[in-house]
Each structure stands twice: as C-alpha cells, then as structure tokens.
C-alpha cells in the first residue's frame, strides 16, 4: 500500500513569491491535514480537508490556503512568502472518521525562503 | 486550548535499558493521546495511542501510561535499541469535538540509544 506522497521534496523561493505544495494521500483516505514544522514552533496544524471541504483550520494568516480535489489529493498554497515561512511542510492522511485521529504523514516538503 | 509539553529536549540511554519519555498536558478534555516517532528527513510515524478512559496501553516493547490526576503521560520503551534513536512527540487528539485532523504536538524529545 503506497504511503502519503508529497511533492516537491525540496524547494527554494524568494520573499514575495508564492508556492504550491502537493499531497497524495493513502488510497481510500478521504481526510488530508497539513502541518508546519519549524525549530522554534514545533509541529503546528494548518488545516484539514475532507471530501473537498475544509473542516478545520489552525491559527495561520490568510496567505496560507489549501484545497482538496475529488480524488482526495490536496494542495496547499502560500502567497507573498516571508522569511519566516521557511519550514518543513507535512501532509497527513486518515480515514477521517471518529476515533484516535491517527494520521499517516508524508516525508514533507522542505521550503526555504531567501 | 490544550497545551502539550515535553520538558526534556533530549534523553540518552544505553542499549537494552529502559527509555522513559514524558509528556504533560493542561486541558483535561481530550479523547486520545498519541506518540509519534520521527527520523531525520522523514515524516512522523505513529507508535501507540491511549484513550482517556484507560491508564495503560501496551504494544510490544512500547507501553504508554496515563496519570489523569497529574495530567501526565509517559512512554516506556523496553528494551531500548539503537534503531529507536529518533525524535519522539506526544500529541493530543480531541477527536470527539470538531478537531478533525488536528493533533496538538509537544516540542519533542530526542532519544539517543547507545550500543
């Protein structure tokens, strides 16, 4: 069974640019969540999508957005990049039902903003 | 809002001995706590969870203990192996509410197991 796939794995952008990251969940998983990992703030929740609808959102500015397609694949976009957006962006998928909310994570997309 | 704290940034243990990783939380309203392990250049991997109605859960070498009165949980790894060397995160899952897909993570503890 294929795991969660994130692309690209590494990318470098400059301030003011925008970036789009992609995530393919485990087959059959309908929930996709996004997290930001930085040395100072740790792992922080960005948002979650289920059946193309955003069900939950963390405390990030509107520059951070996402969407989910009918095949459950998801993208997140960060506009007007700032130096502080440099981070590892992790995508996770789950079946999305009740229970322990066990998420399966991808390897992440490492974004560097210069 | 729930806060999850791992007060020990690092832990060093000899192979074969017990590793004990600790986690404190502030909000008594939760459904599950989960432990994840993370190797460099990989995403976190789920290890074990514990429900709020239990005080212990075991899975092979891994046991999680929950002390609700102290708002404290711990992960025991026995015996520790060099391959266990990684960053360990505890995370709160308030799955019963509207916290879809949201885990609140601690800052992590770096475990090093020496041969």
Q: Which of B31, B93, B102 sits opposite A56 (nearest CB)?
A: B102
The alpha-carbon gap from B43 to the nearest alpha carbon of chain A, in Å, equals 4
A63 — pLDDT class (breaks 50, 70, 90): very high
Interface test with chain A among B43, B87, B92, B103, by most A beta carbons within 10 Å: B43
* Residue burial B91-112, b: 16+ Cβ < 10 Å; e: rest: bbbbbeeebbbbbbbbbbbebe
Interface test with chain B among A41, A55, A87, A101, by most B beta carbons within 10 Å: A101
The string of pLDDT tens digits covering residues B46-87 is 999 998 889 999 999 999 999 999 999 999 999 999 999 999
Residue B98 has what pLDDT?
61
Name chain B contacts of A4, Cβ cutoff 8 Å. 43
A40 — pLDDT class (breaks 50, 70, 90): confident
């Amino acid at each position: 069974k294929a795991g969660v796939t994130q692309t690209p794995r590494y990318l470098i952008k400059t301030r003011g640019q925008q970036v789009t990251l992609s995530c393919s969940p485990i087959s059959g998983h309908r929930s996709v969540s996004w997290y930001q990992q930085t040395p100072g703030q740790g792992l922080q929740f960005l948002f979650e999508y289920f059946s193309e609808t955003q069900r939950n959102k963390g405390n990030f500015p509107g520059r951070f957005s996402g969407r989910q397609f009918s095949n459950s694949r998801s993208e997140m976009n960060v506009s007007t990049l700032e130096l502080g957006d440099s981070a590892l962006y992790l995508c996770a998928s789950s079946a999305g039902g009740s229970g322990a909310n066990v998420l399966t994570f991808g390897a992440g997309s490492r974004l560097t903003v210069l | 809002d729930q806060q999850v704290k791992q007060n020990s940034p690092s832990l060093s243990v000899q192979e074969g001995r017990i590793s004990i990783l600790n986690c404190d939380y502030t909000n008594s309203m939760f459904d599950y706590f989960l432990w994840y392990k993370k190797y460099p250049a990989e995403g976190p991997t789920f290890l074990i969870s514990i429900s709020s109605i239990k005080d212990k859960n075991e899975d092979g070498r891994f046991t999680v203990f929950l002390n609700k009165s102290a708002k404290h949980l711990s992960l025991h790894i026995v015996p520790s192996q060099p391959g266990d060397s990684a960053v360990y995160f505890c995370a709160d899952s308030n799955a019963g509410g509207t916290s879809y897909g949201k885990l609140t993570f601690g800052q992590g503890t770096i475990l090093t197991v020496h041969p």
